[in-house]
Amino acid sequence: MKLNNKEIERLRKIAKKLRMNVIKMVTNAGSGHIGGSLSAAEIITALFFKKMRLDPRNPDWEDRDRFILSKGHACPIVYAALAELGYFPEEELFSLRKLGSRLQGHPDRQLTPGIEMSTGSLGQGLSVANGLALGLRLNKRNVKVYVLIGDGESQEGQIWEAAMTAGHYRLDNLCAILDYNQMQIDGFIHEIKKLEPLNEKWRAFGWETIEIDGHSFSQIINAFEKADSIKGRPTIIIARTVKGKGVSFMEFNNYFHGKAPTKEECLRALKELEKDD
């Protein structure tokens, strides 16, 4: 699927709005995870506004594609996408992390329409995605399962147990996306526990691997299309991204991994994004 300039511009404008809402809602909440939300903006936009089959009026539609946010702390970017699609009113975004809100600091499938799995304990999302993919295959449903995993959580053993399982069962209805923004809460990935060589590791577990620029809509969509064509094995898209992408003073700045901006920083960030046309 080749995206024309008009479609790329449409997606770019959506990603920009999602980023702005993430910054506003986390600032309003006084806590939350901005860096890893901003790095995933293009991935989430491409999935929710171009690739996946969804029906906001019927969140439990049986033939919907499934999405699991394994790196659950980045839920502000998913909430922003769900609101934009109409799963709930946009003004509800500003109840983030408030007592009684449907939008908690980590996703809760019992509370929030459009959320497939309650996540937050890192490393678990790929295992659940395996179960969904197996169940859908047994039920002979032509449905794709997508799971966004973090690079920090990829240091956990459960990710690799799940990778082995998906390869063993040849889950070609499963597509994982690695948000490879190179940073975790304590610093750079390669300093804490290096992941490379990633392509070789995932291939050894029986996966098709695709490496892309995670901020390029054309590369993201092409990767999803390629994943659809792969038979007999799961696919992982290794998306190289920038933590805090879109705001100069947040990019590659681990201070904003899990800290809310001040009101002044919020205004500065929004002005930067507004000028990015």
Q: Which pLDDT tens digits describe the chain residue by residue (277 residues)?
A: 578 889 999 999 999 999 999 999 999 999 999 999 999 999 999 999 999 999 999 999 999 999 999 999 999 999 999 999 999 999 999 999 999 999 999 999 999 999 999 998 899 999 999 999 999 999 999 999 999 999 999 999 999 999 999 999 999 999 999 999 998 888 888 888 999 999 999 999 999 999 999 999 999 999 999 999 999 999 999 999 999 999 999 999 888 888 899 999 999 999 999 987 6
- Decide if 25 contacts 94 (C-beta within 8 A): yes
Q: What's the predicted TM-score (pTM) here?
A: 0.95
Q: How many CA atoms lie within 13 A of 252 on its CB side?
A: 4
- Decide if 171 contacts 234 (C-beta within 8 A): yes
Domain spans in the chain, listed from the N-terminal domain onward:
5-275
Burial class (CB in 10 A: 0-12, 13-18, 19+), 196: exposed
| CATH 3.40.50.970 is right for the domain spanning 5-275 | yes
